[in-house]
Amino acid sequence: MGPLIGHDGRNLPGSRRTTVAHSVIALLHGVAPGNEDGVLGHLTAAFARCGHDIGTHSFTGGPRPRISLDGVRMLVVMGSRDSSTDRSLPWLDDESRFVAAAIARGVPVMGICFGAQLLAGLTGGRVLPGAAMERGMVDVSSEQVDRVPAGPWYAHHRDEIVPPPEADVIATSAASVQAFGYGPHLGVQFHPEATEATLDVWRTSFSATAGAPTDDDAEWEADRRALQEHRIALAARTGTLVRGFVRSAQRHLADVG
């Protein structure tokens, strides 16, 4: 699945123009070309079952072609090894402006982990350092199970979300807010996309040693085993989550259209 590129937004060096070909854009962070399918994990099939295909784009890794919101029905902002509060990141301002433009334009946004934190910050919430990393299969309680199913979800984060005052807190764990809704937008702190292949991409893309043995090898292997054990249930929960997001997005788009 190739990158999605377009022609809206700020001029970037070497930019060019192409036509938007997908109804959903996923913004990726630090993922090497060719690994898009692995990092999208369960999301690809879940959106496909709702009649939508996913194109990908990244603001990380240097100058990229400009991207357009024209024809985009939904935006998904994926996870990152970086913090959404780190203003030293050279790409963060461009991505923040793009996501803010989507929100202002009424394009429903799903934020995942880093993406949920960015969504919170752009809508009046805050992101704070957590007391400890939340990693592995996490028990999540939900107030709206048709929108965000309860049950164990895979998490891998240190920062915590304080949702905007107008948001609905939909799901929580013992440690943090796990999902919030803000109009047609949805932020989830856990990783509904995660499969064993997703972790493999993270491990090679996000590690400074590019996949060489590291001190947390045992934790990665434990995470892979847990995702393999829960794969069928996680795929089903992700299907429910995406279906709820798409339905909410369709209602919103019908109201504003």
DSSP run (H or E) holding 57: strand 54-58
Nearest Cα to Cα of residue 55 among 106, 19, 83:
19
- pLDDT, position 36: 84
22 belongs to the catalytic site: no
The beta-strand segments (E) located in 59-176 are: 74-77, 109-112, 126-142, 151-162, 168-172
Of the candidate CATH numbers 1.20.1300.10, 3.40.50.880, 1.20.140.10, 3.30.390.30, the domain formed by 24-256 belongs to 3.40.50.880
What residue ranges do the domains of the chain occupy?
Answer: 24-256
In a 13 Å sphere around the CA of 124, the CA atoms on its Cβ side amount to 9
Please provide residue 131's backbone torsions phi and psi, each rounded to the nearest 5 degrees.
Answer: -70, -30
**3-class state of residue 113 by DSSP:** coil
Of 36, 95, 160, 193, the active-site residue reads: 193
113 belongs to the catalytic site: yes
193 belongs to the catalytic site: yes
Measure the CA–CA gap between 170 and 26, rounded to whole angstroms. Answer: 22
- pLDDT, position 170: 98
Instruction: Kindly give, in sequence order, each residue whose CB lies less than 8 Å from that of residue 132, ignoring residues fewer than 6 positions away.
Output: 158, 175
Measure the CA–CA gap between 142 and 150, rounded to whole angstroms. Answer: 5
- pLDDT, position 112: 97
- pLDDT, position 206: 65
Of 42, 95, 113, 156, the active-site residue reads: 113
**3-class state of residue 238 by DSSP:** helix
**3-class state of residue 170 by DSSP:** strand
Instruction: Kindly give, in sequence order, each residue whose CB lies less than 8 Å from that of residue 6, ignoring residues fewer than 6 positions away.
Output: 17, 18, 19, 20, 65, 66, 67, 68, 69, 70
- pLDDT, position 11: 33
The beta-strand segments (E) located in 67-116 are: 74-77, 109-112
Torsion of CA 24, 87, 212, 31, to 10 degrees: 20
Q: What is the block-wise mean pLDDT of the chain (257 residues), using blocks of 10 residues?
A: 34 36 88 86 96 92 77 94 86 94 96 96 91 89 96 91 95 94 96 94 65 64 95 98 95 76
Q: In the chain, what is the straight-line distance between the N-terminal and C-terminal CA atoms, in Å?
A: 30
Q: Which amino acid is at 192?
A: P
- pLDDT, position 46: 97
Of 42, 157, 185, 191, the active-site residue reads: 191
pLDDT tens across 153-198, in order?
Answer: 999 988 889 999 999 999 999 989 999 999 999 999 999 999 999 9
